[in-house]
Structure 1
Amino acid sequence: MASLSVPPVLTPPRDDAVALHKAFKGFGCDSTTVTNILAHRDSAQRALILHEYKAIYHQDLYHRLATELSGNHKNAMLLWVLDPVGRDATILNQALNSDITDLRAATEVICSRTPSQLQIMKQTYRARFGCYLEHDITERTYGDHQKLLLAYLGVRRNEGPEVDPSAVTDDARELYQAGEKRVGTDERAFIRIFSERSWAHMVSVANAYQHMYARSLEKAVKSETTGNFQFGLLTILRCADTPAKYFAKVLHKAMKGLGTSNAALTRVAVTRTEVDMKYIKAEYHNKYKGSLAEAIHSETSGNYRTFLLSLVGWDR
């Protein structure tokens, strides 16, 4: 369930575009007005605002925001105003082609999305950045991690709840024989099963593995694999089970200890606000015995804090 708060009576997109333009004029940007408008409009409404701004002022609102805002607030807002698929493609491009690559971010986006989302995202990536996503993955990754990502992008998995119990048992047995039962690990079996099976099937495989071998499949993955390959497998497994629980953990890790991973905090906030942020907040509270909004408030500041809290919302 989304956490986005939209006014019951919406201002026409043209009026929003005019108000944003006024916020940019003069000495400094009226960031409060920018946040009050854009953080309370859904994806379709934001697209209309961008269209109206271009029609009235012959300028791209995205690029105007890039010149008017700064820091983490700018980074978050520029992702937020994109359509969801374009946003995912942009996160992937930044993760793979910046001066410092962020393979965890790229892996998270790929392994937490549905097959239909991935198909559209690949097309958008090609259209926006002039190259195939698979090419950039091949250039930036290696080994079993690379094989997993390419397989996960290439296979059209079933998205329904249907599960074949006999196939589930076979997969649980094959994963055991490919991992814990033998010396060394047959990574090919893990890649094939994790990339070809639906989320519903993988949840059933994890349950069958626990029943058959008195050990969780997640622990088996942790003991048999390493690095970004392990991270990808765990992301698939955890998102198949409960995506909200997975993202609550990402947010907690982004804010715990010294310093804050603003990239991870921004990524989850802007990509999940219109999807399942209310569920993420509930999972965060259950797991960490605290409020996600209060954690964000304590770890961020200024316009960035205001913007994130406008998206996530205070707990009721």
Structure 2
Amino acid sequence: MASIWGGHRGTMHDYPGFSPSVDAEAIRKAIRGIGTEEKTLISILTERTNAQRQLIVREYQAAYGKELKDDLKGDLSGHFKQLMVALVTPPAVFDAKQLKKSMKGVGTSEQALIEVLTTRTSRQMKEIAQAYYTVYKKSLGDDISSETSGDFRKALLTLADGRRDESLKVDEHLAKKDAQILYNAGENRWGTDEDKFTEILCLRSYPHLKLTFDEYRNISQKDIEDSIKGELSGHFEDLLLAIVHCARNMPAFLAARLHQALKGAGTDEFTLNRIMVSRSEIDLLDIRAEFKKHYGYSLYSAIKSDTSGDYELTLLKICGGDD
């Protein structure tokens, strides 16, 4: 079933001979038994697509009168629990929850906000905004507005609106024009016209931006990244750089985020879970390839050396193989 949440470069595919009732029963047994049979849970939930998992969730509720996610929460713990709950959550709801978490509590996790809002398509963003309202009875825009400020806020709100052009057709004439506008808004004047940057970088399609950045280089003899770093600052700068990175190569952008989450002291499980789960049916194969290319070792080996137990097993199954 093609959905706006699927791609052709994922590691997870529909399970052949799938039966939601058989799976629901096996999961129920695994949870009810003396001690949970984690291996059964892992093998079922990592070998089904999200669409199939949603059917298991429905079947489970119908047969046992319980929410599968609540039973998983009651039975599992730690990062493993979070990952398993993520797997049974519909994609738009999962993203809505990630956005909420990144705006909750002490301070805002701007990097998570930036990552979700720059890597989702317009159609996905519209579904996420709907899910957000359904779950929290508040609009995503209102929460972004109260948690952020200035040009950063303006740009985030533009992205959250899901108005980025999705067409794959690129107009060379318009790309030249946009490049000139960016040049005039930054390098070519005193002070910077931030609104022009927001307008072009948050509304134009990624293929169009890629060409625009090539044209920009011809005009200014500089990479757009360098101009952004020189002209702008703070989270607004981070956001625009993320957009540039995504336009040039989104799997490489996400590989860099995973590398950051897995290196050094302590693992950033919040980021690790989000990217592994949300990209598992879209482009995780490409993310794996970029990871290997840029860092010289595989994502699989990075997960292996940085996590443990059932959590590690689940992540490796989602990863789908070594490179």
TM-score, L = length of structure 1: 0.95
The answer (yes or no) to whether the contact 2:14–2:52 under 8 Å persists in 1 is no
Q: Give the corresponding residue for 1:285.
A: 292
2:135 pairs with 128, 136, 140, which one?
128
Q: Secondary structure at the match of 2:60?
A: helix
> Structure 2: where are the runs of 5+ without partners?
1-8
2:12 counterpart of 1:4: yes
How far 1:155 moved relative to its partner? 5.5
Aligned residue type for 1:274: E
Partners of 1:269 and 1:90 in 2: CA distance: 16
| 1:6 and 1:41 in contact (8 A); partners too | yes
Q: CA deviation at 1:293?
A: 0.2
Letter in 2 for 1:90: K
The correspondence for 1:300, drawn from 288, 303, 307, is: 307
TM-score when scaled to structure 2? 0.93
String of CA shifts for 1:92-139, please: whole Å, max 9, x gaps: 112122455322111211121111111121111111211100010011
Q: Distance in 2 between matches of 1:279 and 1:14?
A: 33
Q: Cα offset for 1:82?
A: 1.1
Please name the residue that 1:44 is paired with: 51
Counterparts of 1:56-205 in structure 2, within 5 Å, are 56-154=63-161, 156-205=163-212
Letter in 2 for 1:156: R
What is the Cα-based RMSD across aligned positions, in Å? Answer: 1.5
2:6 maps to none
Indicate the SS of the match to 1:242.
helix
Contact 1:168 1:204 in 2 (8 A): yes
- Name structure 1 gaps, 5 residues minimum: none
Map 1:177-256 onto structure 2 (within 5 A).
177-256=184-263
CA distance in structure 2 between the partners assigned to 1:183 and 1:255 by the alignment: 41
Shift in Å, 1:157: 2.8
| CA shift for structure 1 position 252 | 0.7
Are the equivalent residues in 2 in contact too, given 1:155–1:195 (CA < 8 A)? no
Question: Equivalent residue for 2:5?
Answer: none
Aligned to 2:4: none
Query: Which amino acid is 2:177 matched to?
Result: D
Question: Do 2:24 and 2:57's aligned partners in 1 also have CA atoms closer than 8 Å?
Answer: yes
Deviation of the 1:163 alpha carbon: 2.1
CA shift at 1:267, angstroms? 1.0
2:105 and 2:85 map into 1 onto residues whose CA distance is 16
**Among 296, 311, 321, the residue aligned to 1:314:** 321
Residue aligned with 1:184, SS: coil
Give the whole-Å Cα distance in 2 for the aligned partners of 1:56 and 1:98.
37
For residues 84 and 297 of structure 1, the distance between their equivalents in structure 2, rounded to whole angstroms, comes to 26
1:272 aligns with 2:297: no
Structure-2 change in CA distance of 1:6 and 1:298 (3 Å): farther
Give me the whole-angstrom Cα distance separating, in 1, the residues matched to 2:226 and 2:250.
18
Matched-pair contact (CA < 8 Å) for 1:112–1:235:
no
Amino acid corresponding to residue 219 of structure 1 in structure 2: D
Q: Distance in 1 between matches of 2:311 and 2:13?
A: 17
SS in 2 for 1:104: helix
Which residue type is aligned with residue 276 of structure 1?
A: D
Q: Distance in 2 between matches of 1:73 and 1:98?
A: 22
User: SS at the partner of 2:27?
Assistant: helix
Q: What residue identity is the alignment partner of 2:46? A: A
TM-aligned CA deviation for residue 254 of structure 1: 0.9
| Distance verdict in 2 for CA 1:201–1:21, change over 3 Å | same
Cα distance in structure 2, aligned partners of 1:224 and 1:260: 33
Distance across 1 between alignment mates of 2:210 and 2:163: 18
Comparing 17-26 with 135-144, greater Cα deviation is found at: 17-26
How big is the shift at 1:261? 1.1
